[in-house]
């Protein structure tokens, strides 16, 4: 979503690098570029003005003028101000001291409230709570049925006494759901209300009546992250009509410019609490302003990646895999183990999203976007077409076996051969790393694994050779010297600019460089 904004900011900061000192003109030019980038990202004008004002004020101060690297200091300031405009610290749910915690969802029709209700219930269930979904959207056709499907997928209970489709009193349903939750001992109640088409006074009053009837601990305003600056107008109307306590961004995985995320918190004074960034129930998590700012600036989001890995991978399984790779040169690590690791990674989410969380990956966005998650399924089909013996020892896979495996998995024989070859290479590398030897083919470095780099042989100073007094002997010596010179010349096609058959370790540094080293 923030790709355009990230690219513009990256280009702006690139112009600052290499400058030992920033002049007032440099600061003004940088502020102007950042202003254009924010406006292009559809950020609300009041938020842009406040943001630029703070950056110019801080950039002109001592923290930049006295810095060793002014460009990095400006990036630090932009990062801190982005965190501030996104809400500062992470806002957590407020739970009731006694009785069930009541959470009310409100927002425009089509913002994704019903789907988000299921995601929130699943998230709370994973947090060891027992949530109850309440169907108070009795206006939209099949809204009650949709909420029932979401509850079933999330594995949580639902309270839906009315069929909906225009039938039933949503205020009464909401009020009765609290008593039902107390009797059934549900500790969180999530009330899904009807959406509005624009600013509808009648429907807004209904939302206010539901709030008065249930006195919720949290009122979450669900906003579509793709509607841009209009989200601010809608948020202000809901703030006056319902007075929400937090914001939830839906459809954060869309291709919009992300202006809503940078505008709502600043204009309304209510923090973003959750973000929905996909279609699956698992594509939902708490909103962290510092991590979002880091993503916008192309610094990645390693903390979120680690959290997802901790949810998916077990330490026990990781220890078993490490033991297999570290013993017997990794030969105990088979294709079955390799498939299990791939499946664990796929549970964390899209490969594209995971790679996008790594620092510096914004520069490789086009290559990352071309990655097809179906490739993992294709690899799985190939491995599952093998016998257990073939998975444990891929060296058994000969020509006829490859043909059988290709036919069973619906791929070409060359794909089976390529997978087996890549597996051997990957196993060799992972085995070396697991054994603390570093990456094969790379020389050792202090504090790192890898084989010890071979010291170049000391060359003795060449002494002047005596010439023979025999003319025939002198001619033979000259021919031998010419032959040696030809053999030592660089042959075409040699890697690293060396002769054929030579490698980087055969290269001798000049004496001047050796002295420096």
* 71 marked as binding residue: no
* 192 marked as binding residue: yes
Alpha-carbon 147 to chain mean position: 29
How far is the C-alpha of 226 from the C-alpha of 275, rounded, in Å? Answer: 13
* 475 marked as binding residue: no
* 196 marked as binding residue: yes
* 126 marked as binding residue: no
* 438 marked as binding residue: no
How far is the C-alpha of 332 from the C-alpha of 326, rounded, in Å? Answer: 9
How far is the C-alpha of 207 from the C-alpha of 268, rounded, in Å? Answer: 19
Tokens of residue 500, six digits: 């054929």
Length of the chain: 517
The answer to whether the beta carbons of residues 416 and 426 sit under 8 Å apart is: no
* 252 marked as binding residue: yes
How far is the C-alpha of 362 from the C-alpha of 356, rounded, in Å? Answer: 7
* 193 marked as binding residue: yes
Tokens 């399984």 belong to which residue?
A: 317
With the CA atoms of 276, 278, 282 and 285 taken in that order, what torsion angle do they form, in degrees rounded to the nearest 10? -30
* 124 marked as binding residue: no
* 112 marked as binding residue: yes
The answer to whether the beta carbons of residues 137 and 143 sit under 8 Å apart is: yes
Tokens of residue 431, six digits: 């085995």
DSSP-assigned letters across all residues of 23-56 = -HHHHHHHHHHHHHHHHHTT--HHHHHHHHHHHH
Task: Please say whether the dihedral angle defined by the alpha carbons of residues 123, 127, 132 and 137, taken in this order, is positive or negative.
Answer: negative
How far is the C-alpha of 239 from the C-alpha of 392, rounded, in Å? Answer: 61
Give, as one character, the DSSP assignment of residue 331: T
| Count helices and strands in the chain by DSSP H and E runs | 23, 8
For 83, 138, 222, 266, 340, the CA distances from 87, given in Å and listed in that order, are 6, 34, 16, 7, 40
* 280 marked as binding residue: no
Closest-CA residue to 394 (of 403, 386, 385, 384):
386
* 268 marked as binding residue: no
How far is the C-alpha of 385 from the C-alpha of 387, rounded, in Å? Answer: 7
* 194 marked as binding residue: yes
**Cβ-based neighbours of 253, under 8 Å, separated by 6 or more:** 1, 277, 278, 283
Q: Residues annotated as binding site?
A: 107-114, 192-196, 250-253
Residues of the binding site for GTP: 107-114, 192-196, 250-253
């Amino acid at each position: 979503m923030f790709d355009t904004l990230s690219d513009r900011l990256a280009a702006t900061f690139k112009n600052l690098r290499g400058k030992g000192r920033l002049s007032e003109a440099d600061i003004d030019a940088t502020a102007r570029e950042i202003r254009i980038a924010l406006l292009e990202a559809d950020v609300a004008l009041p938020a842009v003005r406040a943001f630029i004002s703070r950056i110019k004020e801080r950039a002109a101060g001592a923290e930049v003028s006295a810095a060793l690297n002014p460009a990095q200091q400006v990036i630090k300031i932009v990062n801190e101000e982005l965190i501030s405009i996104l809400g500062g610290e992470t806002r957590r749910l407020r739970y009731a001291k006694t009785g069930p915690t009541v959470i009310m969802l409100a927002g425009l029709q089509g913002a994704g409230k019903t789907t988000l209700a299921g995601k929130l219930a699943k998230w709370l269930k994973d947090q060891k709570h027992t949530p109850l979904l309440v169907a108070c959207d009795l206006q939209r056709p099949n809204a009650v049925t949709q909420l029932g499907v979401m509850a079933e997928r999330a594995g949580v209970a639902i309270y839906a006494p009315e069929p909906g489709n225009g039938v039933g009193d949503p205020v009464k349903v909401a009020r009765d759901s609290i008593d039902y939750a107390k009797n059934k001992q549900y500790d969180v109640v999530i009330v899904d209300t009807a959406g509005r088409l624009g600013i509808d006074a009648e429907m807004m009053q209904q939302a206010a009546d539901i709030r008065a009837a249930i006195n919720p601990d949290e009122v979450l305003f669900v906003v579509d992250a793709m509607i841009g600056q209009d989200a601010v107008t809608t948020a202000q109307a809901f703030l006056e009509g319902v007075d929400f306590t937090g914001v939830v961004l839906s459809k954060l995985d869309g291709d919009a410019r992300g202006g809503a995320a940078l505008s709502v918190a600043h204009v309304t004074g209510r923090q973003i609490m959750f973000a929905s960034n996909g279609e699956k129930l698992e594509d939902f998590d708490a909103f962290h302003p510092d991590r979002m700012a880091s993503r916008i600036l192309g610094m990645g989001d390693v903390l979120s990646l680690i959290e997802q890995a901790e949810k998916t991978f077990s330490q026990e399984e990781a220890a078993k895999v490490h033991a297999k790779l570290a013993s017997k040169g990794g030969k105990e690590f088979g294709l079955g183990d390799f498939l299990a690791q791939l499946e664990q990674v796929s549970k964390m989410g899209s490969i594209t999203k995971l790679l996008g969380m790594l620092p510096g990956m914004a520069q490789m966005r086009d290559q990352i976007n071309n990655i097809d998650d179906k490739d993992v399924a294709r690899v799985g089909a190939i491995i599952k077409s093998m016998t257990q013996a073939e998975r444990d020892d891929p060296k058994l896979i000969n020509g006829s076996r490859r043909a059988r495996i290709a036919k069973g998995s619906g791929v070409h024989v060359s794909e089976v051969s390529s997978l087996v070859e890549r597996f051997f290479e990957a196993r060799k590398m992972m085995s070396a790393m697991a054994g603390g030897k570093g990456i094969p083919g790379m020389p050792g470095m202090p504090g790192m694994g890898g084989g010890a780099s071979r010291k170049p042989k000391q060359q003795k100073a060449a002494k002047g050779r005596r010439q023979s007094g025999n003319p025939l002997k002198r001619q033979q010596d000259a021919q031998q010297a010419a032959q040696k010179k030809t053999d030592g010349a660089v042959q075409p096609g040699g890697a690293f600019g060396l002769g054929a058959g030579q490698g980087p370790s055969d290269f001798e540094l000049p004496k001047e460089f050796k002295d420096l080293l």
